[in-house]
Structure 1
Amino acid sequence: MAQTVFAPWTDPQQTPLIEFRNVTKRFGDFTAIDSLSLDIYEREFFALLGPSGCGKTTMMRMLAGFETISDGEITLGGQNISATPPNKRPVNMMFQSYALFPHLSIWENIAFGLKRESRDKDAIAARVEEMLRLTRLTKFAKRKPHQISGGQRQRVALARSLAKAPKLLLLDEPLGALDKKLREETQFELMDIQEKTGTTFVIVTHDQEEAMTVASRIAVMDEGRLVQVATPPVIYEQPNSVYVAGFLGDVTVLEGKARKAGDVYELDWAEGQPPLRCASPLTLSNGQTGYVAVRPEKVEIHRNRPEDDNVLRGKVIDIGYLGNLSTYHVELGNGQIIKAQNFNTERDTRRSFTWEDDVWVNWTDRCGVLLEG
């Protein structure tokens, strides 16, 4: 049986769970969020991604009710929550610090919010046990937070946040305190738990790889505005601007003057260099400034000149060895640096290329992305 693709944002019949409508947030004379509109759907794992100061945390705090909006409205489940206090919203928030009670056991930490609602003791116990099973913490139930690892404390905070079955869970840099390997493992655990509970997750992060891994869609932000909202593959392979191309992943951007040449564009980008060829659905006028963005994994590196599109001569000036792959920084004749990657598929410490080697790099006309100036 074919698996149904989860993409409610493509269905005009679907009603968003969360709607930002021309939302603006000002702090004095400073505009942190500028007339922003956004839809987030039920069961999404949605990522707000951007550099420090871009407005992503302010958006999350407005959703939680910790910041009031200056203009516009926010709806949750069709209800305007712009003036609803935080404790009256079906929303929970999980912070980077986890904020666990050190004197309470893991079981009691998870039960804390349920007890404050004066629920039946048996119902509380059943819900806590369910959360312990979901987060694989059952055998740690009697321990205190200082007696478990950082990754386990992160799962306790998650279990406590989900115990009250919120419609929406907000995660503010939730994995920032974990080391790289544990962070990567926990990302998949988060995805699994989100899928099992069906809760809508909204995560704030500045980690591009984290957003690419966990999110159904990503909103890339800059200076209080949404630059692009799309799925991770679209954001990565089809960025809509030089900013998005440069922010998400590694990329080389070459600037030049575009002209139509049959079914592709050619970009005159450097004197004495051949034009770059790029297939694109864009419509650019002859002489218009354009940019070709090309990812290093799309760029091949050769000892001898290949017969292909976009063939450039250069010299290896730097090498980054990352175990599974090597990144070569190649300086072209005009001083431009372009990056090429080779996967290290064999167990051989000798590299195919080394510093100061004269090499050729190339990519096909469909591997680069043409962007407007």
Structure 2
Amino acid sequence: MIAQGSPHVSQNVFAPWDDPDAKPLIRFQNVTKRYGEFIAIDDLTLDIFEQEFFALLGPSGCGKTTMMRMLAGFESITDGRIELSGQDIGPVPPNKRAVNMMFQSYALFPHLTVWDNIAFGLRRDRQSKAQVDARVDEMLKLTRLEKFARRKPHQISGGQRQRVALARSLAKAPKLLLLDEPLGALDKKLRQDTQFELMDIQETTGTTFVIVTHDQEEAMTVASRVAVMDEGRLIQVATPAAIYEYPNSVYVADFIGDVNIIEGTAKPNGQDLYQINWSDDRAPINAASEATHAAGQTLHLAIRPEKIAITAKKPSGAVNAMQGKVLDIAYLGNLSTYHVELPNGQIIKAQTANTKRLARRDITWEDAVWVSWSPTAGVLLEQ
């Protein structure tokens, strides 16, 4: 899992969101966007800092693309204010903002060469031939497209077209680059490779990137921080590691990665320790939490599958251990995920790393097994 902070820089070096004196590059202040009776963005406040690679993540219709279009100037704000470098950009037309947007379709000119596609915006700004030549050559080098400069878009691959669109977007040196599902058209392997290319280019140029995606893995890979959205609201804004390890709600825990959710009632059991009564005929679960929870309060324990051990024999000394039966196994090459049904019908997912070549499984379908985890393995959530 990614360390907190920038993908390439330790958090001690780059974490402006933790600095009370840092001034954000972008500031959403109580922004609302309505389409008739429908509220697309609901009183949203958010700061994004210079040189961040910031991800807006959420399901279709959550408002992330509307936020991006308001930043670009393609949508007006119903209420509130958006600032860029301290300036209210609400009245500023799109072509006057220091913002560029890269669309999912790439929107390249099919009749122009790669070189001319990148040069297009520079020529419209009436830059001199020497300036245009120097800048296009710089962008071709940055995106490793020098060999393809004289080709047309249909003569290069999807990944190369994506890099052309990126080079064209960066050519005018915007303060802010908006990327709307930029890797959606690429196959999985190419998408993964391109994610790292994007991170390298973002770090090299120092441009602030804001990416819209519904792909959790993509957001977690590229971003310095992620904003998880739902129904026009921000549910949690944090580093990828914090969102994964310390989700603030069942919604975020369930949306990011795979998770087990066990519902029960709390009973304090010492400092920062709780017993969770979750089934009438089962022993309570022991869980640690720095947050204070009242006796009898309904809580949800969120535990990631990789934090649960699965064994054929009962583990000695395990605080939380329960027996069940293997219902299903998902073999993913590097990992195997076991779906274990407990006697009360609860399904627990446990994940193991396949560090050895599998000749035959130690644990297979229908086997009686034990699942176990430590009190600190999960997160207790109120909602």
1:145 and 1:280 mapped to 2: Cα distance?
A: 55
Per-residue displacement from partner, 1:180-206 (whole Å, max 9, x unpaired)? 000000000000000000000000000
Displacement of 1:282: 1.2
Query: How many residues are treated as equivalent by the alignment?
Result: 372
Query: Among 338, 348, 360, which residue is 2:370 paired with?
Result: 360
The match for 1:69 is 77
Residue 308 (structure 2) pairs with residue 305 (structure 1) = no
1:243-322 matched pairs, under 5 angstroms: 243-263=251-271, 264-306=273-315, 307-322=317-332
TM-score using structure 2 length: 0.96
Query: Among 182, 194, 201, which residue is 1:186 paired with?
Result: 194
2:281 and 2:289 mapped to 1: Cα distance?
A: 24
The match for 1:343 is 353
Query: Among 178, 196, 211, which residue is 1:203 paired with?
Result: 211
The match for 1:137 is 145
Structure 1 unpaired stretches of 5+? none
1:142 and 1:114 mapped to 2: Cα distance?
A: 18
Displacement of 1:272: 1.2
Which stretches of structure 1, 4 residues or more, deviate above 3 A after TM superposition? none
Query: Among 90, 94, 99, which residue is 2:98 paired with?
Result: 90
Taking only the aligned residue pairs, the percentage that are identical comes to 70
Displacement of 1:82: 1.0
When the two chains are superposed, the root-mean-square deviation of aligned CA atoms in Å is 0.9
1:72-151 matched pairs, under 5 angstroms: 72-151=80-159
The one-letter code sitting in structure 1 at the alignment partner of 2:49 is Y
Residue 237 (structure 2) pairs with residue 223 (structure 1) = no
Query: Among 27, 32, 42, which residue is 2:35 paired with?
Result: 27
SS of equivalent to 1:22: strand
2:359 and 2:22 mapped to 1: Cα distance?
A: 53
Structure 2 unpaired stretches of 5+? 1-8
Per-residue displacement from partner, 1:151-184 (whole Å, max 9, x unpaired)? 0100000000000000000000000000000000
1:314 and 1:338 mapped to 2: Cα distance?
A: 9
TM-score using structure 1 length: 0.99
The match for 1:333 is 343
1:173 and 1:241 mapped to 2: Cα distance?
A: 25
- Range with bigger deviation, 180-189 or 277-286: 277-286
Displacement of 1:13: 1.1
